[in-house]
Amino acid sequence: MVVMNRAPSASQNPLLAPWAGTFELPPFAAITPEHFRPAFDRALAEHRAEIDAIGASSAAPSFDNTIVALEKSGRELELVSNAFFMLAGADTSDEIEAIERDVSPLLARHNNALYLNRALYARIAALYRQSDALGLNAEQARVLERYHTRFVRAGAALEQPAQERLATINERLASLGTRFGQNVLADEKSFAMLLEESDLAGLPDFARAAARAAAGERGQPGKFAITLARSSVETFLQFSSRRDLREKIFQAWITRGENGGETDNRALIAEMVALRAERAKLLGFATFADYRLDDQMAKTPAAARGLLDEVWGRARAKAGAERAALQQLITQEGGNFALAPHDWRYYTERLRKARFDLDEAEIKPYFQLDRMIEAIFETARRLFGLTFSSVTVPLHHPDARAWDVTDAQGRHVALFIGDYFARSSKHSGAWMTALRDQEKLSGDIRPIVVNVCNFSKPVAGEPALLSFDDARTLFHEFGHALHGMLSNVTYPLLAGTAVPSDFVELPSQLYEHWLEVPEILRQYARHCRTDEPMPQALLDRLLATRTFNQGFATVEYTACALVDLDLHSLPDAGTLDVSEFEHKDLERIAMPAEIVMRHRLPHFQHLFSGGGYAAGYYSYMWSEVLDADAFAAFEEAGNAFDPAIARRLRDYIYGAGNLRDPGRAYEAFRGRLPTVDALLKKRGLADVMPV
């Protein structure tokens, strides 16, 4: 924590003055880290007073004096938190990290004061019991039901001793989650493989340029750095013919959070899993997975596992065939070694070249970041009538950009911010977040939505190039962003992405499909030097590789989802040895030895950095059943931009927040529930015999 001589007064603290700038953005240009703590303190106290007043009211509970009052409370806290956690994720520092460690248990304690407040719960429960008699419209009834469920799931109905224990557990989990994420970032920051030009055998120009830029950012001009950012490592693994260096970077990458010492995450995981299991028991569930899935679309761990099992055997079979082809290539070239995990991407790239006459270095110049941004915007224009105009506003980092989003009538819809380049102050991964959510309860509040990615930054003057996978990530995160921007609800609780996590990946994964729509590729995949569109033959070859290496990708993902479910199905995790658990569980599911989990437990941020996907990593595949089936609706219509289907998509999915139960919402869009067929076809697994 930074020690200040004097705390800044309210008048000097830009976070505490009204945010009067354009779009009412957080006043980034004026904010320094020491402004956050006093802003949190004031916002927390204000929200606490609001909550207590609602609970202590002597008036009989009504929808207005309880639910609407709750919905209107805590707005300042929300805005301060949103601004702070965006910085903590995208541009952190020692000062921000220290504040994060301080405020995360405070926020957990604050949440306890809200959700374990008996007086408040008594009012909500009374309203819920008589909800049919309250004359509520459908959205109001949904808000009331959601509040009731949230309070019950948080433990509001439990006796005092259980509540006290829950409160302690929640605070501890918040601290552990913060520490977990910071440890991963510390391991990523402290490692870079510094190379000389002579070490770069096999690397194409774009990869050399990115490595030179990364070395420059780390104060090593003239050298080349491979960092632990996914774009950097994976590119190196794909192209470098130096097996020794591939092994070295791969080892560093897969052991993040598992290096002993201060930043080792294994003890934190054991404690978090044990605390989650205990919390689930206090709330009446056998395991954390049972607790977690009870309020998801899947409802039970068995349902989630059923889907994963259906895919797993086929994925292993396909990966087995892929492995055999890679080994054959090694042998043909006179290699006298067995395929290892750090070889997979390299030989896959070689095989892709041989089989489809296609290599990433040939494709990449056609995927310029700026052109692909135009592509995501054009897709949104054709589907939803949105227009994006670049605007200059003060943002959190010079690399971030903003666009004013308007509808077909020219009305302001949202502000969209894109922060695309990797840097050492940014957590790894890609995500969407909001600085402000849409709602209509306090006027027509328009959202401010942010996409954060980790694409390699080019050296000055060079265009930023994406891999096809990066381009998919860009579309994915923008799908989440649209879910936030098109939100059309009255109550903040239901806005945008506030849906179950096994449904929230539908808007994002569905959007990825438009990257592969030929007319979008033809228009926006243009060569960075000549501006020529991608030749039809190359485009055909690119699309022909769609199911290539999908065995690997499916195994790499599904193993994570299975291990996550198994870990969070432990009834008691008192003496958990995390490394041993992971090892044994992978053995149990017969994980192919040449493939490593996409996220090993010691750096699995989806599960432990905040816990949003704990016992929920299966969500991506659950949502994929939906997205594959949903896109098939456009294919069946023979038009990827069919206006009637796009209209329903907006009404029931992208614009509908959490207005409806997810199953009902999907049925309203598609006219029926989805089947798994489209997913198996998409991944090339439909005709594979499971092993």
Q: What does the alpha-carbon distance between residue 445 and residue 225 come to, in Å, rounded to a whole number?
A: 44
User: Could you tell me how many residues of this chain bind Zn ion (CB under 5 A)?
Assistant: 2
Rounded to the nearest whole angstrom, what is the least distance from the CB of residue 499 to Zn ion in the complex? 12
Options 129-137, 289-297, 311-319, 505-513: segment touching Zn ion (CB under 5 A): 505-513
- Residue 100 or 502 with smaller CB distance to Zn ion: 502
Binding track over 456-495 against Zn ion, x by CB under 5 A: ----------------------------------------
Cα-based distances in Å from 198 to 195, 203, 236 = 8, 11, 14
Question: Among 178, 533, 551, which Cα is nearest to 368's?
Answer: 533
Tokens for 413? 């819809």
**Residue of 71, 477, 556, 582 marked active site:** 477
| 506-565 binders of Zn ion (CB under 5 A) | 508
Q: Rule CB under 5 A: which of 75-114 touch Zn ion?
A: none
Could you tell me the smallest distance in angstroms from the CB atom of residue 380 to Zn ion?
17
Contact between 417 and 449 (Cβ < 8 Å): yes
d(Cα 170, Cα 108) in Å, to the nearest integer? 6
Query: How many angstroms separate the Cα of 326 from the Cα of each of 204, 341, 556, 678?
Result: 21, 12, 17, 28
Cβ at position 3, least distance to Zn ion in Å: 39
**Shortest Cβ 508–Zn ion spacing (Å):** 4
Q: Which stretch binds Zn ion (CB under 5 A): 91-99, 502-510, 606-614, 626-634?
A: 502-510
Distance between terminal CA atoms of the chain? 54
DSSP string, 486-514: S---SSGGG-TT-S-HHHHHHHHHHHHGG
Q: What is the DSSP letter of 371?
A: H
**578 or 626, CB closer to Zn ion?**
626
Nearer to Zn ion, 99 or 229 (CB): 229
How far apart are CB 509 and Zn ion at their closest, in Å? 7
Shortest distance in whole angstroms from residue 280 CB to Zn ion: 25
CA 217 – CA 146 distance, rounded (Å): 47
Nearer to Zn ion, 505 or 582 (CB): 505
Binding status of residue 238 toward Zn ion by CB under 5 A: no
Structure tokens at 544: 């022909």
Residue nearest to Zn ion (CB): 508
Specify the stretch interacting with Zn ion by CB under 5 A; choose among 254-262, 365-373, 485-493, 501-509.
501-509
Nearer to Zn ion, 204 or 611 (CB): 611
Of 238 and 623, CB closest to Zn ion:
623
Closest by alpha carbon to 595, among 585, 586, 584? 586
330-349 binders of Zn ion (CB under 5 A):
none
Q: Which residue's CB is nearer to Zn ion, number 71 or number 505? A: 505
Output phi, psi for 451, to 5 deg. -110, 130
Q: Give the nearest distance from C-beta 476 to Zn ion in angstroms.
A: 6
- Residue 241 tokens, joined: 């013919």
Residue linked to tokens 């639910």: 67
Instruction: Map 249-277 to HEC letters.
Output: HHHHHHCCCCCCHHHCCHHHHHHHHHHHH
Q: Is 477 one of the catalytic residues?
A: yes
Q: What 8-state DSSP symbol labels residue 437?
A: -
Our CB check for Zn ion shows the closer of 117 and 619 to be: 619
Give the Cα separation of 346 and 241 in Å (integer): 8
Question: Which is closer to Zn ion, CB of 183 or CB of 508?
Answer: 508
Please report how close the Cβ of residue 507 comes to Zn ion at its closest, in angstroms.
9
Who contacts 393 (Cβ-Cβ below 8 Å, separation ≥6)? 21, 22, 23, 25, 402, 415
CA 139/CA 494 separation, integer angstroms:
9
How near is the Cβ of 276 to Zn ion at its closest, in Å? 22
Specify the stretch interacting with Zn ion by CB under 5 A; choose among 86-94, 241-249, 498-506, 556-564.
Answer: 498-506
SS (H, E, C) 82-143: HHHHHHHHHCCCHHHHHHHHHHHHHHHHHHHHHHCCHHHHHHHHHHHHCHHHCCCCHHHHHH
**Displacement of CA 451 from its chain's centroid (Å):** 10
Stretch that binds Zn ion, among 172-180, 389-397, 467-475, 500-508 (CB under 5 A): 500-508
Active site (catalytic) residues: 477
The contact set with Zn ion (CB under 5 A) reads: 505, 508
